[in-house]
Amino acid sequence: MNDETLFHPGRRLFLQSSAIALLAGIAGCTTFSDIDTSGGTGEDRSSGALAMVNDLRTKHGRTALVIDPAASRAAQQQARRMAKAGKMQHLIGLNDDFGSRMKANGVALPASENIAVGQDATAEAVTAWINSPRHLTNMLGNYRGIGVAVAQNPASGNRPYWAMVLSS
């Protein structure tokens, strides 16, 4: 390949566009510590979910849960993170780590997390988790505490993002 081919205007434009796309992709990546959970609205819905979850657990011979303030904080944080990102995902960003998030919120481990998006009411979110075998398994697990939260963000269309954290 000679200099004329290497620096052809069309090739130069392609290389510039590729470099810009790569940089934009890197700039768009976030890490756990970079995610600002402020903004948007978020609220604790633990008390609204507790009776439903405890009824379910009783029917399956499990002990009742109590509202865990640390699990509630972790659920609120996760709901806000998802609303801010406009994504329903457990892990958001390159360095996100479930265990680190739980430890940072003081959640007793082991713990688990259920997430959902789009349900307008607490009962709808809990019902969606009950109807999902994997989420149901979490709710029937060997846990003592619960926290449930919902968050919305105008920048992500005000869709309700839900998080449930179950703690030991």
C-alpha span between 147 and 50 (Å, rounded): 9
Average pLDDT over residues 135-148: 97
Q: What letter does residue 142 receive in the DSSP assignment?
A: S
- Say what the pTM is: 0.74
Span 14-62, pLDDT tens digits: 334 333 333 333 333 333 333 344 444 679 999 999 999 999 999 999 9
* pLDDT given for residue 33 in this prediction: 34
Lowest mean pLDDT among 28-37, 66-75, 85-94: 28-37
Please report the pLDDT score of residue 124 as a whole number.
97
Check the CA dihedral 74-32-94-13 and report its sign: positive
Residue of 78 and 3 predicted with greater confidence: 78
pLDDT at 3: 44
Average pLDDT over residues 149-161: 88
φ/ψ region of 76 (left if φ > 0, alpha if ψ in -120 to 50, else beta) reads alpha
DSSP secondary structure letter of residue 48:
H
Q: Can you list the alpha helix ranges (DSSP code H) found in the chain?
A: 3-6, 9-28, 46-59, 69-85, 98-104, 122-130, 133-139
DSSP-assigned beta bridge partners for residue 111: 167
Query: What is the reported pLDDT for 93?
Result: 65
H helix or E strand, kind and range, residue 117: strand 111-117
pLDDT score of 88: 57
**Token pair for residue 1?**
């390949």
**pLDDT tens-digit profile of 1-24?**
444 444 444 444 333 433 333 333
